[in-house]
Structure 1
């Protein structure tokens, strides 16, 4: 699926606030939808790139022969999901911010996994 389609499908998730497809090597978004004044998706893309890199470094330092599938960050009012797409090296990921009071975390994770697995860049 194309980036534009992936963004629209992710935003159809209950409680979605904003979504970005991110180049994990540069930290730049390849596409965004939603967000707004309360959520700068460009800043979130860059910041979450550091989160993905830090987790990869930690796994390596621990000598774990495994890879990250997704990362969940819970805030008081929001969930932030990071789902690696394509290769598990973090070079491409989808970032989805959700309103915690209007979302179902299990369904959102399932939907984001499906979207990430079918994303073509």
Structure 2
């Protein structure tokens, strides 16, 4: 049974963990949730994942395994990274065949990948622990989600 009071109370404790959370409805919701589910199938040990709008930084759907790993706080910054990288590439004037596909951020114990989805309006964000997943596997799972 879903009781609104208890749902709000849980929200005060931090982000929902081990559950896909959507912020939109309709076909966007179904599409974003399907992408997250595909990522979870390929990377069950991930730290977090989200489908995010590039322009606004709004997460359409997200999943995290820890309350300390709050994706909502970082999605706007990650969207800004994508927008700035697009501007930097435009300044270089690459040919039309070379478009931004992926951004990798490496930390001492984590990998954070931002991969543009085919529509170019959204990106898939995935964070994994380096001890649990290697870069090649994470990239391949993310590529498979585009199809």
Whether these two folds match at TM > 0.5 is yes
Contact 2:110 2:130 in 1 (8 A): yes
Q: Which has the larger radius of gyration?
A: 2
Contact 1:14 1:103 in 2 (8 A): no
Distance (whole Å) between structure 2 residues aligned to residue 93 and residue 75 of structure 1: 20
Instruction: Tell me the TM-score normalised to structure 1 length.
Output: 0.86
Distance (whole Å) between structure 2 residues aligned to residue 9 and residue 38 of structure 1: 23
Match of 1:73 in 2: 105
Distance (whole Å) between structure 2 residues aligned to residue 9 and residue 58 of structure 1: 31
The CA deviation at 1:35 is 4.6
Any gaps of 5 or more consecutive residues in structure 1? Answer: none
Q: Residue 57 of structure 2: SS of its match in structure 1? A: coil
Instruction: Tell me the TM-score normalised to structure 2 length.
Output: 0.72
Q: Larger RCO: Structure 1 or Structure 2 (Cα < 8 Å, ≥ 6 residues apart)?
A: 1
Distance (whole Å) between structure 2 residues aligned to residue 74 and residue 15 of structure 1: 17
* CA separation of 1:103 and 1:71: change in aligned 2, threshold 3 A: same
Deviation per residue, 1:23-61 (Å, 9 max, x gap) = 111110000011533221112211110110111000011
Distance (whole Å) between structure 2 residues aligned to residue 15 and residue 83 of structure 1: 19
Q: Residue 102 of structure 1: SS of its match in structure 2? A: coil
Distance (whole Å) between structure 2 residues aligned to residue 24 and residue 4 of structure 1: 17
Q: How many residues align?
A: 115
Any gaps of 5 or more consecutive residues in structure 2? Answer: 1-29
Contact 2:46 2:65 in 1 (8 A): no
